[in-house]
Structure 1
Amino acid sequence: MASNDQRRVGDMKQSIVDGIVAARVQSKTLSNPSQTRQYLQQYVKNVPVEDLQGRSEAIMARVALEHLEFGAVRRRGQALLRIFNPTEKEHGYVSAFTFVEMVNDDMAFLVDSVSAAINRHNLAVHITVHPIISVTRNSKGRLTSIAKPGDKGAKSESYIRFGIERETDPVQLNILQHEINKVLRDVRVAVRDWQKMRKRMLETRDLLENGPKNVDPLLRSESKALLTWLEDEHFTFLGYREYKLSNKGKHVYLHSVAGSGLGVLSRDERGSGSVELTTEMKRLTRSRDWLILTKANSRSTVHRTAFLDYVGVKVYDKKGNAVGERRFIGLLTSIAYNESPKNIPLLRHKIQKVFERANVNESGHRGKALSHIIETYPREELFQSTVQDLARTTIGILNLQDRQRVKFFLRRDAFRRFFSCLVFVPREKYTTSIRRQTEALLKAAFDGVSVDSAVQISESALARVHIIVRTAEGVRPRISIQDIENRIVNLVITWSDRLQNALLSEFGREEGERLFKSYGRIFPAGFQADTLPSEACSDIRRLDKMLTENAQRTVDLYVPINSEPGSLHFCVYSMGQPISLSDALPIMENMGVSVYSERPYEAKLESGQSFWIQDFELVVDAGKSVDFEAVDARFEECFLAVLGGEAENDGLNRLVFNGGLDWRQTSLLRCYAKHIQQLGLPFSQAYMEDVLVSHASLVPLLVEQFELQFDPAVS
Structure 2
Amino acid sequence: MPDDGALPHGTGQGAGMRGELLREAEAALTRLGPALPPAAAGILHALAEGMPVAELAGLAPETLAAEAASLFSLAETRKPGEPRIRVTAPGGPSGVTGRGAGAVVEVVMDDMPFLVDSALAALTLSGRTVRRLLHPILGVARDAAGRLRDAGPAVPGGPNESMMRIEVAPGAARRMGPGAPAPADWPGVEAALVQAMTEVRVAVSDFAPMLDRLTSAEGEIAALPDGAEAAAFLRWLGEGNFVLLGHRLLRLTPTGPVAEDGLGLLRDDGATVFDALRDMSAVPPAVSEALAQPIALTIAKANVRVRVHRPSYADVIATRVLGADGRVTGVRLFFGLFAATAYNRSPRGIPWLNSKVARVLKVSGAAPDTHDARAFQSILDTWPRDELFQATEEEILAGARVALDLTIRPRPALALRPDPFGRFVSAIVWMPREGFDTRLRERVGRLLASAYGGRLSAFYIALGDSPLARVHYVIGTTPGASPEVDAAALEAAITRAARGFPDALADALAEGVGEAEGARLAARWADAFPLPTPTRYRPEPRSPTCGWPRLRSAPAGPRRPSRACPARAHAGSSCALPIRARRCRWRMPCRCSKASTSARSRSSPIA
The aligned amino acid for 1:158 is: S
Residue 231 of structure 2 aligns with which residue? 224
* Structure 1 residue corresponding to 2:75, chosen from 64, 71, 78: 71
Say whether residues 1:162 and 2:163 are aligned partners.
no
* Counterpart Cα distance in 2 of 1:32 and 1:402: 71
Q: Among all aligned residue pairs of Structure 1 and Structure 2, give the percentage whose two residues are the same amino acid.
A: 26
Q: Is the 8 A contact 1:292 1:312 kept in 2?
A: yes
Quick check: 390-399 or 283-292, which moved more?
Answer: 283-292
Give SS of 1:401's match.
helix
Say whether residues 1:410 and 2:423 are aligned partners.
no
| Aligned 1:245-284 pairs, distance under 5 A | 245-248=252-255, 253-257=256-260, 260-271=261-272, 274-284=280-290
* Structure 1 residue corresponding to 2:436, chosen from 430, 434, 437: 430
Change in CA separation of 1:617 and 1:10 when aligned onto 2, cut-off 3 Å: farther
User: Structure 1 residue 437: deviation in Å?
Assistant: 1.4
* Counterpart Cα distance in 2 of 1:578 and 1:12: 69
The aligned amino acid for 2:164 is: I
Give SS of 2:266's match.
coil
* Counterpart Cα distance in 2 of 1:476 and 1:24: 62
Q: Is the 8 A contact 2:379 2:400 kept in 1?
A: yes
Change in CA separation of 1:357 and 1:89 when aligned onto 2, cut-off 3 Å: closer
Change in CA separation of 1:536 and 1:120 when aligned onto 2, cut-off 3 Å: farther
Residue 580 of structure 2 aligns with which residue? none
Unaligned 5+ segments in structure 2 are 173-181, 273-277, 576-582, 597-607
| Aligned 1:682-701 pairs, distance under 5 A | none
Paired residues in the alignment total 564
* Counterpart Cα distance in 2 of 1:281 and 1:468: 21
The aligned amino acid for 1:506 is: G
Give SS of 2:197's match.
helix
Residue 601 of structure 2 aligns with which residue? none
Q: TM-score, normalised by structure 2?
A: 0.83
User: Structure 1 residue 106: deviation in Å?
Assistant: 0.5
Q: Is the 8 A contact 1:373 1:398 kept in 2?
A: yes
Residue 188 of structure 2 aligns with which residue? 175
Change in CA separation of 1:199 and 1:513 when aligned onto 2, cut-off 3 Å: same
Residue 600 of structure 2 aligns with which residue? none
Give SS of 1:451's match.
strand
Give SS of 2:104's match.
strand
Deviations 1:12-43 (CA, angstroms, capped at 9, x unpaired): 5454334223435179798765x554443223
Residue 397 of structure 1 aligns with which residue? 403
Deviations 1:485-528 (CA, angstroms, capped at 9, x unpaired): 11211212233333222222221222222222322333222334
| Aligned 1:622-701 pairs, distance under 5 A | 636=595
* Counterpart Cα distance in 2 of 1:430 and 1:514: 25
Change in CA separation of 1:454 and 1:170 when aligned onto 2, cut-off 3 Å: closer
Say whether residues 1:541 and 2:549 are aligned partners.
yes
Change in CA separation of 1:578 and 1:187 when aligned onto 2, cut-off 3 Å: farther
Q: Is the 8 A contact 1:409 1:422 kept in 2?
A: yes
Residue 210 of structure 2 aligns with which residue? 197
Say whether residues 1:145 and 2:145 are aligned partners.
no
Deviations 1:658-682 (CA, angstroms, capped at 9, x unpaired): xxxxxxxxxxxxxxxxxxxxxxxxx
User: Structure 1 residue 65: deviation in Å?
Assistant: 2.7
* Counterpart Cα distance in 1 of 2:399 and 2:418: 13
Residue 220 of structure 2 aligns with which residue? 207
Greater helix proportion: 1
* Counterpart Cα distance in 2 of 1:61 and 1:499: 63
Quick check: 291-300 or 492-501, which moved more?
Answer: 492-501
Give SS of 1:336's match.
helix
User: Structure 1 residue 147: deviation in Å?
Assistant: 4.8
* Structure 1 residue corresponding to 2:515, chosen from 500, 509, 512: 509
User: Structure 1 residue 478: deviation in Å?
Assistant: 0.8
Deviations 1:418-457 (CA, angstroms, capped at 9, x unpaired): 1111111222232322211111111111121333111111
User: Structure 1 residue 390: deviation in Å?
Assistant: 1.4
Deviations 1:125-163 (CA, angstroms, capped at 9, x unpaired): 2221211111111222222223554389x6201111112
Residue 247 of structure 2 aligns with which residue? 240
Q: Is the 8 A contact 1:570 1:615 kept in 2?
A: no
Deviations 1:252-300 (CA, angstroms, capped at 9, x unpaired): x22211xx11111112331376253324313423544121201101111
Unaligned 5+ segments in structure 1 are 556-568, 580-596, 602-613, 619-632, 638-715
* Counterpart Cα distance in 2 of 1:178 and 1:32: 30
* Structure 2 residue corresponding to 1:41, chosen from 24, 45, 58: 45
Q: Is the 8 A contact 1:443 1:451 kept in 2?
A: no
* Counterpart Cα distance in 2 of 1:546 and 1:24: 75
Residue 590 of structure 2 aligns with which residue? 616
Change in CA separation of 1:405 and 1:315 when aligned onto 2, cut-off 3 Å: same
User: Structure 1 residue 310: deviation in Å?
Assistant: 0.9
Say whether residues 1:23 and 2:24 are aligned partners.
no
Residue 199 of structure 2 aligns with which residue? 186
* Counterpart Cα distance in 2 of 1:29 and 1:280: 69
* Counterpart Cα distance in 1 of 2:514 and 2:97: 75
Change in CA separation of 1:578 and 1:159 when aligned onto 2, cut-off 3 Å: farther
User: Structure 1 residue 110: deviation in Å?
Assistant: 1.3
Change in CA separation of 1:370 and 1:84 when aligned onto 2, cut-off 3 Å: same
Residue 449 of structure 2 aligns with which residue? 443
The aligned amino acid for 1:521 is: D
Say whether residues 1:52 and 2:48 are aligned partners.
no
Give SS of 1:139's match.
coil
* Counterpart Cα distance in 2 of 1:536 and 1:18: 82
| Aligned 1:585-604 pairs, distance under 5 A | none
Give SS of 2:309's match.
coil
Q: Is the 8 A contact 2:554 2:570 kept in 1?
A: no
The aligned amino acid for 1:239 is: G
Say whether residues 1:84 and 2:97 are aligned partners.
no
Deviations 1:348-402 (CA, angstroms, capped at 9, x unpaired): 1111211211122343222111111111111111111111111222133223324
Q: TM-score, normalised by structure 1?
A: 0.71
Change in CA separation of 1:4 and 1:127 when aligned onto 2, cut-off 3 Å: closer
User: Structure 1 residue 69: deviation in Å?
Assistant: 2.7
Change in CA separation of 1:541 and 1:12 when aligned onto 2, cut-off 3 Å: farther
Q: Is the 8 A contact 1:30 1:145 kept in 2?
A: no
